[in-house]
Amino acid sequence: MLNSTKVRIGVIGLGNMGSSHASFISGLDNAALASVCDIIPEKADKFAEKFNVKAYYNHKDMLEDPALDAVLVATPHYDHVPVTIDALRKGVHVLCEKPLTVHVNGARNMIEAYGEAKKQKPDLVFGIMLNERTFPYYKKIKDIITGGELGRLTRVTWINTAWFRSQAYYDSGGWRATWAGEGGGTLTNQCPHNLDMYQWLFGMPAKVNGFAHLGKYHNIEVEDEVTAYMEHDNGMIGHFIVTTGECPGVNRLEIAGENGALVYCRGQLIFYRNRVSMLKYLNETKESFGTVENWETHIPVDGSQPYNHPVVIQKFAETILTGHDVLIARGEEGLNQVMLANGIMLSSFNEAAVRFPLNGDAYERKLEELIKASVFVKHVDAGARADLSKSFAR
């Protein structure tokens, strides 16, 4: 619990996302922007001047500042690990951008460091920016599934091809879309949200078969098109189909259960409700070609409440101030999403199914191999226009 009315948060990494976070924090009642940090001094200076706070060019210097309660880490993915661990060891609360990091071993190191740091400071808070958990439609879907209205789930098919990205996007940063700089493609950058949502709604699968295409539509060395097939211990199967190379894309989530099908697509949530359990009917009917009568119900969703990044930051600050855990997602919860991404890629590389929990060493070795073998020449053009709000508007 913090004896204050506002949590003083420093933002580390002032690119597309970090600069937005600095604005979000400034607009909250229970948080204040304490300082900003970027390894590019001009960026740090620019935002320090804009928000009238102190600039740092190295996160370790920022962490020495006594006028700091928490940090929001918005650097490229690999750096999430050292920056987060350094902050936790200093007793500074951390809200880390998604994904926790690139591979399972790194994520486990962060979680272990949090456990160690909590021994010194039991009320230390570690959260992850899984902002899509606050989206009204996803919350409603979670509510319906948890309520058991679909009965036993049999199939989930998620096609999310609405993550279209241009070559200019990939060229906009030297770290983007390389094994050494970003550590992966769409599963590491855009899809952490969807992979987290998948495990949040349906739990972890027992195994996955992944099929990934590297640089199929873009001049990049990492995956830009992925299909995964998953099997769960309870018999449910899952399909996960994503790409950054399809336009118009679609975000269509189909959830089939014994009591009907729930379909989210293009801003509508429809429940095709069976009159009786289709599994019961399937076993008991004498009709060879009969089907279960079902009714189409459009589910109203209240979108009037605040959602997205500011809510995640606000709940993070509230948890620090009150000592009551109201986090949208705890840091530890970020592990499953990284495990799913790593499992899909490992399966694709090995052309074999991967079982969960994943052997972190196997994927880390594969990644090291890819980095060593890379001959990709990265083209950087920092002149790309970037309106991040367009990336959220799906």
Q: What would the two tokens of residue 223 be? A: 């995956």
SS3 231: strand
Cα separation of 322 and 7, whole Å?
11
**10 in contact with ligand NAD (CB under 6 A):** no
Q: Which residue, 290 or 303, is less far from ligand NAD as judged by CB? A: 303
Q: Which is nearer to ligand NAD, 103 or 144 (CB)?
A: 103
Determine which residue in the list 8, 77, 133, 378 makes contact with ligand NAD, applying CB under 6 A: 77
Q: Find the Cα–Cα–Cα–Cα dihedral 144, 147, 150, 152, rounded to 10°.
A: 140
Q: Which of residues 162-221 bind ligand NAD (CB under 6 A)?
A: 173, 189
Is the Cβ–Cβ distance between 204 and 361 less than 8 Å? no
Nearer to ligand NAD, 110 or 230 (CB): 110
d(CA 185, CA 212): 10
Considering beta carbons, is residue 76 or 210 the nearer one to ligand NAD? 76
Question: Can you tell me which residue has the tokens 């994904």?
Answer: 99
Answer left, alpha or beta for residue 13, where phi above 0 means left and psi between -120 and 50 means alpha: left
**Smaller CB distance to ligand NAD: residue 117 or 129?**
129
- Residue 12 in contact with residue 76, Cβ under 8 Å? no
Stretch that binds ligand NAD, among 8-16, 27-35, 351-359, 375-383 (CB under 6 A): 8-16
Residue from 7, 10, 11, 18 in contact with ligand NAD (CB under 6 A):
18
Instruction: Write the CB contacts of 74 (distance below 8 Å, at least 6 apart in sequence).
Output: 11, 12, 13, 14, 15, 17, 18, 21, 97
User: Under a CB-based contact definition with an 8 Å cutoff, are residues 309 and 28 in contact?
Assistant: no
Q: Is 133 in the site for ligand NAD (CB under 6 A)?
A: no
Residue number, 160 or 274, with CB nearest to ligand NAD: 160
Shortest Å, Cβ 296 to ligand NAD: 33
Q: Which residues pair with 159 in a beta bridge?
A: 241, 252
The correct pick among 97, 225, 246, 258 for binding ligand NAD (CB under 6 A) is 97
Nearest approach in angstroms of CB 21 to ligand NAD is 9
∠ CA 353-355-358, nearest 5°, is: 120
Residue from 79, 149, 231, 332 touching ligand NAD (CB under 6 A): that is 79
Task: Give strand ranges (E) for the chain.
Answer: 7-12, 31-37, 54-56, 70-73, 93-97, 126-129, 153-160, 207-214, 223-231, 237-243, 251-257, 260-265, 268-274, 294-298, 354-355
314 is a site residue for ligand NAD (CB under 6 A): no
By C-beta, is 282 or 386 nearer to ligand NAD? 386
Q: Distance between CA atoms of 362 and 354, rounded to whole angstroms?
A: 11
User: Is the alpha carbon torsion for 253, 222, 101, 104 positive or negative?
Assistant: positive
> If binding is defined by CB under 6 A, does position 131 make contact with ligand NAD?
yes
- When the beta carbons of 83 and 278 are compared against ligand NAD, the nearer one is 83
The least distance separating ligand NAD from the CB of residue 183, rounded to whole angstroms, comes to 10
Q: Which stretch binds ligand NAD (CB under 6 A): 12-20, 162-170, 206-214, 253-261?
A: 12-20
Q: By the 8 A CB rule, do 28 and 5 touch?
A: no
Query: In the complex, what is the shortest distance from the CB of residue 390 to ligand NAD, in angstroms, rounded to a whole number?
Result: 11
3-state SS class at 277:
coil
Q: How many residues form the binding site for ligand NAD (CB under 6 A)?
A: 25
Smallest CA-to-CA distance from 337 within 134, 102, 136 is with: 102
Query: Interface with ligand NAD includes 277 (CB under 6 A)?
Result: no
* Interacting span for ligand NAD (CB under 6 A) from 71-79, 134-142, 220-228, 281-289: 71-79
Smaller CB separation from ligand NAD, 98 or 103? 98
Q: Is residue 160 close enough to count as binding ligand NAD by CB under 6 A?
A: no
Q: At its nearest, how many Å lie between ligand NAD and the CB of residue 58?
A: 7
Show Cβ contacts of residue 200 under 8 Å, excluding neighbours closer than 6 positions.
Answer: 133, 142, 333
Name residue 54's beta-bridge partners.
Answer: 35
Angle at 83 between CA 335 and CA 121, to 5 degrees: 80
Residue of 2, 37, 278, 321 that binds ligand NAD (CB under 6 A): 37
Q: Contact with ligand NAD (CB under 6 A): which of 6, 16, 149, 365?
A: 16
Binding site for ligand NAD (CB under 6 A): 12-18, 37-40, 43, 59, 74-77, 79, 83, 97-98, 129, 131, 173, 189
